[in-house]
Every structure is written in structure tokens, then in C-alpha cells.
Structure 1
């Protein structure tokens, strides 16, 4: 009885640490403490879970500790070596492994149930099958998201005709099979349960296939919520309150973030799932005709920045690719030293995962108060002397307002053209991840500074130092 009390107490303290850690993650200033606190909570829960079955003499603590050591080693090395450009891929992969764990736990129950080693009533069987389905979708869906983000899989290369109808049919088949497995119980047989599992894994791939690359931040957030739900379902299987609470927290936060990101793009979740946004092939008004983008030299750009009263940087995925965040901060410091007010405009879906730009700039020690969200940035832009766009494209595209034929029409974007002057740092005139041209490049207020973002910013640093 005493052991049970302390185990439940450890679960309670772990859950409190999780909740408080999540609260601290809401701002960069406290995020590190929140991460550490949540890790301590997870450690408490793991210790409690290992102490729970002490009366069972067949515990395999050696295997458990060995697996933890290997997993911790892989996680440590991966986290140390991963580049910021690949952070979305790592998040997607780790998220998928969480779904895989839920699948493995559910499969253990399935084998024991059909092997006659354990009895499951209808409610318990529903939970097990739900864990298999949700965890399977999170696992294989995250793997495909990783492939798209890594450039191993191109958008639309795997898409079949009427692919969304195929997905609907697969989901319907899975639901029917699940109902039959619950009704028939052990009579359904292990083979049918394995077919259900394999089909769930295939559906995970198929679910993500038609989703365009530009929607990957939403997909990662959605799959993260799936992983949380599968963990919560696994908690129900084992009557583990900590798994239940942790899974609900992850599932709920992922769902809320998904909804917020869809609102930021002025699109429904259904439109994201079936839209194929980012497949390339759209066009925006202003991409045709004899329009010519005007260039600016490094020297002229440095002079304009140096003598401005206010400057706003707009970071995008190109900033991550060029690993230019620290050089950008150096430009920031030089301008601030000359009395220039410097801010950063952060679009909710800039980058390849939720909060991607915030993470990059935090790594460069950019103070959090300098980061403006979409609404605050748009309010400040009309009074801004210079806007410097570093690697962003689709989130500053005016076609969202004035081109009903554009795939991003209606999406809230940063109104950078309202500033007095704009400079876009890009390698070329190529389209962004959404696959559409940007009329901003030909705007009268805009000038293009071609080249690698990090190299261009380094040259700006040298010019600013010479002024």
C-alpha cells in the first residue's frame, strides 16, 4: 500500500511538472526552464513505472535500462549534431517514433489477447484498436513528412488520381474492420488484426501524400496531436494516469496549435488536408509581362539601413538554409549602435515547423521583445523605413490580397509593401515553397539583393562598419 501511494505521488508530481513546464514553454525567456522541468517530471514517471510491478519477479530491468541507455545516447548525439535547417525533420522523426511506441504497446496487447494470455472486453478492445490506428498514422505519416522536408520525396510524385477519395475509402475500411474486430472478439483471429495494423500504417502514408509541402508546419502540428492521442490511449490500456495526462496535454496543445495555424492561413483544416498546397504550378498576378525586378548594391543597401530610423527584418526558411541568423543579429547590433530601431516580423507559418523562426532567432540571442507577431508587425510596417526580407517568400506575397486566382488568396500575410522601402535577399527569382511567383519582387518600393543570405549579410556587416 505504501509503495502504491508513493508511485501515485510520483505520477502526480510528474504530471504537475509537465503542466508547469508546458506553461513555461510559452515564452523563450522561460522555455529552457520549462524543458528541464518537464524532463524531471518524465524522469519521475519513468522511475515510478519501473517500481510499480516490484512484486513481479520476472521484470526485465536489464533490457529496460539498456534500451533507455541506447535511446538516450541516440537522442543526445542527434540533438547535438542536428543543424537548425534540419530541426523540422528531427521533430517529425521524433514525433513518428512516439507513434511507433504506441503501436508496439498496442500490438503486445493484441498478441496476448489472440494468444489467450489476456482477456479484453469490448471497451478495452476499442482502446487498443484506436491506439493502433492513431499511432500508426502518426508513425508513417511523420516518416513521409520527414521525407518531404528532407527533399527525399517531391510533392505530388506519389499522389494518385482522386487520392482523397482513396483515403476516405481506406478510412472507411479501417472503421468497418475495427467494428468487426470488436464485435467478433477473439473469433476474428490474429490475421485480421494484423491486416488492420498494416492498413493503418499504409493509411498514415496515404494520409500525408496529397498534402503540399507549404502546409508542412500544419501537418507536423497535427501529427504531433495524433501522437499525443495515441499516448493517451496507451495510458488507458495500462491504466497509467501519467501517460493519460501527458498524452492529453500533447494532443490538446497540438490540436490547438493546428487550429491557430489554419486560422493564420485563413484556411480550414479540411482544405489543408486535401488542397495539395505547395505542389508548384500556381501562378500569381504580376509574374507575367515585361516587369523587371530592380537590384540594389551592397553599398547602397548598407547606407539605406544605416541612416534609417527603423528597420524590420522578415525571416523565412531561407534564413535557416543559409544559417544566417547570427550574422543577421550582427547587422542588428550595428544598426542599434547607430540609433536604429530594429524589429523582427514573425509570420505564424514561416519556416517548416511551428515556431521555426523563433527558435532560429533565439539561437542568435535576439531579445524576445524584438519579435513581433503578424498583427503587431502589420501595425508597425507603415511607419517603418526599411524592411529586409531574408529568405521569406509566400508570407510576404501581395497576391494574398489582390489575386483571387492565387492559391494563397485570403491568407493573412505581412504587408511589407506598406513600409517606405523593401529589400529582398534571395539567391534568384525562383518561387517559394508554395510554388507561386511573388509580385512584390516587381514592386516600385522593392529592391532585390541577390546571393546567399549569409554572404550578403556578411558583406552588409563590413559595409556598415566602414560607414
Structure 2
């Protein structure tokens, strides 16, 4: 068993590694090294926590750690990049549920201490946490209860919210916003009841108050995320990431674990900051995200005139061969078709022909922040031609060809033209300003969010139906 000095030093080292990891993820070229910082930091944290003072039960804890590691490796190898968003949501749910269980156990240990009057010195046979509880003053025990309440409430909201997010991202739950009759009044009522139960719990009520509090929080998490539309799920995943961090921080206070406090605060604050940045990018209100009050329609959508006109691959190749400048806008459809390598080859071929090729990336393209950047980096697309929306939006008017690969909402002109659209006011890539627009799409459906896109009906737009990877594979040999 390691001494407390080793554990404290390891906590500081792990915290520094986590901070370096977060800092490195802001740069694509440093991202791999940043991930390794995180891996080493987590390994140090787990080892020194597991073998620190007051820890026991190794006969079952070590096997469970091995099982968890094996499951983690298996999932990491099996899950495709297209499934990464739902995997992240699932992992958030584990953090939330862990917070709930730790909160329950902490309160049971607290009651056990009080019932046996452990504070008078009878510590034999009790856990290290119970012994710690025995040393606390009445005021400190009240703070412990507050920490338990926060951990259980935030954890329960995170758990069910993440489960619903997983279902929506995986297509197992309808992506359209759904709420029970009463809408936000139900959420408000559940929150008020949760506050009353917390007050009762802090004033000495039984364990049942904590159970009911968790049940209400489970409902709030479920109902909040059910009320959010599919177009806004990237922001939801980021927000749930923040919730999971605050839940972990609450666990850290409960267990007097400095590393959990620091790590939880890092995850919570970074997730909240990222959510705020994404809300600005989508013209959403940050408070509405927290309350689950966005993603629905404001009224009847505007009528769309015209028809979708199809074109074959040869027609697209002819336009590309005549073009001087090309902007490619990838979306989740590229991820589904696993077309990033084909897109990379098309880019190489076009650049070899002397054409100015760039990529336009919307902040919420795909199902996860940075989803498209990761896929393009994986396919070895040069970093310097992958530009953010603000950097490239003014260039579409001077671009010969815009190629849209599996994108819908992020290139939807209804965001600017239709005040009743669910995405009204959301900044989008103005691809329709290009001279010619080609949209690679599986079919004529509305896509994940269920929102019709007037871009597909514009006179300078042509639709290329079919699997994106097959389409681009056929296109590459025709580029001269």
C-alpha cells in the first residue's frame, strides 16, 4: 500500500498531464501527443488511487479493473469513427451513474457512523471513508450532505440525459423534439420537488428522500434531452460532457479526493466553455441549452419552390475539370459512408491539376464537435486547407464549385431566409453563393434533423444521389 505522500504527488502529476492534454487538443498537429498525456495521466490516477492508504477489497477491485480495461479495449477497437458521438454519450452516462451510486453509498456510510457512534473511537471493521466521516464536525457533516445531494442530482440528470442522447445519435430514439404534456412546467415542477426533498434530507429526513430526489433527477434528464431536436445534438453532447465533469467534482468533494475535484472541474468548465462557443456558432441561447428549451419549430415552414435536379458523376467531373477553385463541405453523411479517404484522394488529384481546393467546416458538422476535423486528419488532408466557417464563408461568392458531402442543416439557407425554421438564425455555410453546387446525398429525404433544405431546389444546385464513397471513387479517375 502506498503512502499519502505518493498519492498526493501522483494527483498533482496527473492533474498537470490532464491540463496538458486539454491544451494540446486545441491543435490538430499536437492532438496525438495530447491524447497520450491524458492516457498516462489517467493510468497514474487509477494506480495511485487504487493502491493508496485506506483502500482495500483488492480481491474484487483488481479483477473489476481488468474487466473494465478489457471491455474498454474491445469497444475502442470495435466502434467506428461514425459511432464515436454515441460512444461519448454512453461514457457520460457511466460517470453520472457512478456519481449516483457514490452519493448513495456515502450517505449510507454516514448513517452507519451516526448509528454506531463511531466518532467516539470504535473504528474497527469500518471503511476508510466511514473513519473519515467519524472525524467530521456537525458543520462538516452538513457540507457532506450538500455534496451528496449535488452529486446524486447532477449525476442522475447526466445519466438519463446521456442515455437519451445516445439513443438519438444511434437512431434508436426519434431525433425530433418530444415532450410530455406540460412541457417545461413538468421540468420546473420536478426541480422544485427536488429542492424540497433536498431540504428535507438536510434536515434529517430518511434515505427515502435521496431515492426520490434521484428519481426526479432521472426524469429531468430524460425530459430535457427528449425536448431537444436532432439538429442541436452536438451542443447537447458537449453540455452533457460538462454535466459529467461537475458530477465527478461533486464525487471528489464527497470522497475528499483532490484529483477527482480537479479533473471534474477541468471537464466541467471546458465542456461548458465549448458549449458556449458552439451556442454562439449556432446563434442559440446558452441558458436555453441548459434548460433543454431549443430545437423545435417556431411555426409553419416556408413553402419550397422548384425541384431537385439530378446529375451524373461525369457531369460533376466536367465541372470540376473546368473549375479553378473548389470548396468541399463535409457532413455526417461523409462519416456514415466512410468516404474521408476517397475525399482525400479527390483533393490530391484536384490540387495536382492546379486547382485551389479548400474545406469549409461548420462548428457543429457531424454529431460531435470537431467530428469532421478528426476524419479529415485521419485521411491525411493537409491542415492548412481545412478552414472554419468564419474563415471561408466570404469566399463562396468567388468559388467555381462547392461540393457538399452528406451535409444538410449546416448548409441550409432556411436559417437565413425562413424565420419559422427550427434553425432560424443559425449561422450556416453559404454554399449557394458558389457558381455551381453539387450535393452528394443518399436520397431525397430530409436527413437526421427532419428539416427540408431549400438548397437542394436552387437553380445552381445539382444532386448526386448514391453512396458518397462510391460516388467519389467513380469521380477521381475522371479528374484530368
* Coarse TM-score class (shorter-chain normalised): over 0.9
Aligned equivalent of 2:109, options 108, 112, 125: 112
Equivalent residue pairs, number: 455
CA contact (8 A) 1:282 1:436 kept: no
1:315-330 matches, within 5 Å, as 315-330=330-345
Q: Which residue of 2 aligns with 1:41?
A: 41
Look up the SS of the partner of 1:311 in the other structure. Answer: strand
- Structure 1 residue 379 displacement after superposition: 2.4
Q: Which residue of 1 aligns with 2:465?
A: 450
1:384-463 matches, within 5 Å, as 384-463=399-478
The question of 1:244 aligning with 2:258 is answered: no
Distance 2:222 2:451 in 1: 26
CA contact (8 A) 1:283 1:437 kept: no
Q: Which residue of 2 aligns with 1:377?
A: 392
Q: Which runs of 5+ in 2 are unaligned?
A: 115-129, 134-139
Larger deviation, residues 70-79 vs 361-370: 361-370
Look up the SS of the partner of 2:56 in the other structure. Answer: coil
Q: Which residue of 1 aligns with 2:211?
A: 194
Look up the SS of the partner of 2:369 in the other structure. Answer: coil
Q: Which residue of 1 aligns with 2:74?
A: 77
Q: Which runs of 5+ in 1 are unaligned?
A: none
Q: Which residue of 2 aligns with 1:277?
A: 295
The question of 1:302 aligning with 2:317 is answered: yes
* Alpha-carbon distance change, 328 to 106 in structure 1, aligned in 2, over 3 angstroms: same
Q: Which residue of 2 aligns with 1:361?
A: 376
CA contact (8 A) 1:136 1:201 kept: yes
The question of 1:254 aligning with 2:287 is answered: no
Distance 2:361 2:178 in 1: 32
- Structure 1 residue 157 displacement after superposition: 8.1
Distance 2:293 2:45 in 1: 41
Output the TM-score relative to the length of structure 2. Answer: 0.90
- Structure 1 residue 181 displacement after superposition: 0.6
- Structure 1 residue 407 displacement after superposition: 2.0
Q: Aligned-pair RMSD on alpha carbons?
A: 2.0
Q: Which residue of 1 aligns with 2:121?
A: none
CA contact (8 A) 2:406 2:468 kept: yes
* Alpha-carbon distance change, 36 to 282 in structure 1, aligned in 2, over 3 angstroms: farther
Look up the SS of the partner of 1:115 in the other structure. Answer: helix
Distance 2:252 2:113 in 1: 22
Aligned equivalent of 2:180, options 149, 160, 169: 160
Look up the SS of the partner of 2:309 in the other structure. Answer: coil
* Alpha-carbon distance change, 397 to 444 in structure 1, aligned in 2, over 3 angstroms: same
The question of 1:24 aligning with 2:39 is answered: no
Look up the SS of the partner of 2:3 in the other structure. Answer: helix
Distance 1:393 1:134 in 2: 33
Residues 94-115 of structure 1, C-alpha deviations (whole Å, 9 max, x = no match): 1111112222211210221233
CA contact (8 A) 2:176 2:449 kept: no
Residues 195-233 of structure 1, C-alpha deviations (whole Å, 9 max, x = no match): 222222232212211111111111111111011001111
Q: Which residue of 1 aligns with 2:347?
A: 332
Q: Which residue of 2 aligns with 1:203?
A: 220
Output the TM-score relative to the length of structure 1. Answer: 0.93
CA contact (8 A) 1:312 1:386 kept: yes
